[in-house]
Amino acid sequence: MSREASRPVDDSPLWWTVDRLVRAFADRELSPVEVADMAEARIEETHSSLHAYVARTPELARRQAREAERAYRNGDAGPLAGVPVSIKDAFDVQGQVTTYGSLAHPRQVARADSGAVRRLRTSGAVFVGKTNVPEFCQSATTDNLLGPDTANPWDPAATSGGSSGGAAASVAAGTCTLALGSDGGGSIRIPAAFCGLVGLKPTYGRINGAGGLRAFSPFISAGPLARSVQDAARLFEVLGEGAAPAAAPARSVIAWCSHPEGRPVGRVLLENVRRATESLRALGHRLEPVDLRLDGWEQIFGPLVLAEEGERRGSLLEGEHPLTRYERRSLEAARRLAPATVSSARSAMAAYRERIDTYFDDFDVLVTPATATPAFPIGCRPGSIAGRRVDRLWGAFPFAVPFNVSGHPSIVLPVGFVDAMPVAIQLIGRRGADFELLQLAAELEAALDLDLYNPESGTAPMSPM
């Protein structure tokens, strides 16, 4: 291990904010090449415990780092020049293999970058590797037949969530500064919540031409995973190609729902989220308890996801490559899906979006827990929460998908710990109000003042002590 990789977490540039990192590059106090080498060493250090990456790209990273170094010398560095970024293996990186987490794509070399990756490349970002995903991103935990499950840096016996589980683990373990993820059914927000990160699902359609795996098409968006709201905003600005932020209301009217759809939530987790809502109140925002009517999303989401999966990958049932149990079951369910069910789901989606829109006639922001539980042991989805039986598919994380179906932007950020595992709150904004949502999240983050990545406090994951 290199001397740099073994430095304390709080002294390593891999844990710095984007702004601090690019200032150090611009002032020639630090070299992007040095940081790229640190990232590779940190990936090596954590790989056997976490399995966050399906492919490392050290040669590409060093080449991009050298280009960033030249750009700083020439005065034309992009907004993320030299910043280490991991790329979810749902996106193509030119010249690299894209597996989509499946044995059906073991040697599929990308001819060109996906749109989101191209924007990151133009920004000067340094690509340190491709991060692990469940097969075709069809699970909220990151397990596939390519290798071991992706683990959580806070406890490698626990799941990192999914489908951007490798992306979340890569940032939380300090192997990179930012991660590119995608969220079609909570796939950024669930692993961000489990790994103590900020995760943003932008407004549906807000990030145009992002490309990536063709799945969850009516619901999905590319988005950032980061250790702070400000860092998440930096990556979002690049993905959105520099759209100008609007000013958030000085004092927001916030709808607070502790148990959406009456679903159970872990008691201590909920206490953490309640304290965070009180911080919002203390900041001058008005909170009103509301029983959000989110029911109906499963009857829309399930049929439309299955219909697309069957259309695009149904032939794999006769293929030579083995499939995960969950992917096989999805494809088999797609074959049984009645066309009328799909048509009904498509018709219901517009009405669902209008229903959620009506909440924003009275409120600026909606607030819920991000998940119902902290990260659970790998392979052990909870069958009960707070003494009540729950569905194993969605029981631990039922609060993200409604806003994929509705298309509204939502962000999660950490608010505390349960049994030494991070837990998070979810904020949901009006469609198109992504920057306003980021501003409120930054205000809450500052008020909470959680130092999740300070090893002196004993709260840094995978800390090289």
Helix, strand, or coil here: 412? strand
CA distance 335 to 306: 9
CA distance 67 to 250: 41
Q: Enter the pTM of the model.
A: 0.96
Contacts of 309 (CB under 8 A, 6+ apart): 136, 138, 215, 330, 331, 334
**Catalytic site residue 163?**
yes
**In the prediction, which pLDDT does 11 show?**
76
CA distance 32 to 430: 38
CA distance 319 to 341: 27
- Name the band, by pLDDT with cuts 50, 70 and 90, for residue 105: confident
Residue 129 sits at φ, ψ, to 5 deg, of 165, 170
pLDDT digits (tens, 9 = 90+) for 274-287: 999 999 999 999 99
Catalytic residue among 31, 88, 139, 182: 88
pLDDT digits (tens, 9 = 90+) for 338-370: 999 999 999 999 999 999 999 999 999 999 999
Catalytic residue among 163, 221, 228, 330: 163
42-56, 77-91, 245-259, 322-336: which range is least confident on average? 245-259
Tell me if 198 sits within 8 A of 81, measured CB to CB.
Answer: no
Q: Are strands 253-256 and 365-369 parallel, antiparallel or unpaired?
A: parallel
pLDDT more than 70, % of the chain: 94
pLDDT more than 90, % of the chain: 91
**Catalytic site residue 187?**
yes
How large is the average pLDDT for residues 126-153? 98
CA distance 262 to 265: 9
How large is the average pLDDT for residues 416-434? 97
The 10 Å Cβ neighbour count of residue 56 is 18
Helix, strand, or coil here: 284? coil
Catalytic residue among 123, 170, 182, 187: 187
**Catalytic site residue 201?**
no
pLDDT digits (tens, 9 = 90+) for 383-417: 999 999 999 999 999 999 999 999 999 999 999 99
**In the prediction, which pLDDT does 250 show?**
79
**In the prediction, which pLDDT does 81 show?**
98
How large is the average pLDDT for residues 442-446? 98
